[in-house]
Structure 1
Amino acid sequence: MTHRILIVEDEPSIAELIAINLTHAGYDVEKAMQTDIALNMMRDQLPSLLILDWMLPGKSGVQFAKELRANDRTRSLPILMLTAKSEESDKVLGLDSGADDYVTKPFSPKELVARVKALLRRQSPVEDSGPLSVGPLKLDPSSHRVMAVWPNTEPQIVSLGPTEYRLLQFLMANPERVHSRANLLDKVWGNEVYIEERTVDVHIKRLRAALATSDCDRYIETVRGSGYRITKIPTQT
């Protein structure tokens, strides 16, 4: 199946540069100059991935990303944020808004295509470890579903974005072990992509926020100076 990629970028020359390189890489590409046009294009069928410029007329890419993450239908849509802002605080804001990755202008088309490939690869099923269980959390790879199951209560679905799902799956497959940021980047993102270790912190924060709705965020622990782990018996109650 050929992946369909939607570029939301108001500078025609940049949108065309991206489109040409992605087309040469074998993707179907569509373009929109602002978010309302992009939303209309996604009504019937979602793209495989969204390349979203930060600064857009009408509604910013950051606000649009937040709205997509708040909607059940688009919550898992992979988003690559494209922007001229290069400060770390800007990168964190872009990731906090819901983006899965971040590319700064001016960019290398080769690097951008590599990041697109890496993001799409994360959507493919990882090695099937079978159903996983840590505390009240149950993860079923076959249905791609995470549930919080507490005694004497109805099971609750935990809604996760694609990166947070893979991060939780890896942690649950290796409970009680402390994983450094570098190790998580290697195992969850893949060591061929150009992502900073700070990105891990942002996605852990997003994972905890998703788990907090079912009181499961305390199962993800920070080990100061070392990294993160998922535990069967949290120290914080």
Structure 2
Amino acid sequence: MFRKIMARLTGKPPGRSGEARADLGAPAEPVTARPEVMTGAFEAGFVGEAADKRYPLRTLRIGEVNLASGRLVVADPFTVRGEDAPLDLELAPGRYPVDIAVADAGENGHRVALARVVLSPETPVRWTLAVTAEQGPATLNSGDIFGYGVDAGTAAFMDAGSVAWLAGLSFEESEVLTDGWQARGEALGPDLGIPYGFVLVEEVGPGGAAMFSSGWGDGFYASWVGHDAQDRPVQVVTDFAVITAVNIPRPR
């Protein structure tokens, strides 16, 4: 479900994260994307920061996601529900490249720090929080975000038609499908230099899904829309809080 939650400070493994809490009565201060990270993380030689840590990143293009309906859902593919709404974006039906930025976190392994779907080759000049049609950033308190929960250590860019198709499967059919995903995705991760990782791009019903490990694992993650100089959406990036990719307002 794409919902609202308090933003968590980035760059810390599970068990070490803090919270930026809202000051009741004060004007709301939004969480904002760091443009130099949203774009730089996918460029050669980028080094991400997380508190006192520095993580080199490398980019992998894992394939193209089939957005046959022109509607993009960001979700945990193993727990997505039929009522999960697509992002409020107008996209042409088609196939779009998907990249992951993998951080070398030393003894903590190789982690997918960010993932993006490239909607256009144009350069983003402005970033906004990704929302569904029912959500408004102006309703958020200081430090809050809209995003989605991950319970299976996996996130995805999915076609809305695929999400609806999955909802129509029986329990047995769904179990067979997801067992296959798990086997194939866990086999491909190490092949891409992500030990214990998961990567899979497949057709799912009438559309497709691009799936990948989510940062440190389960959590709640925001996505961001990059707009070009004509204010058209050109990228959607999900931040998995491995490196510091957003500005979180300080508690008052």
TM-score bin (small chain): under 0.3
Which of the pair is proportionally richer in helix?
1
Give the alignment's TM-score, normalised by structure 1. Answer: 0.24
For the pair shown, the structure with the greater C-alpha radius of gyration is 1
Which of the pair is proportionally richer in strand?
2
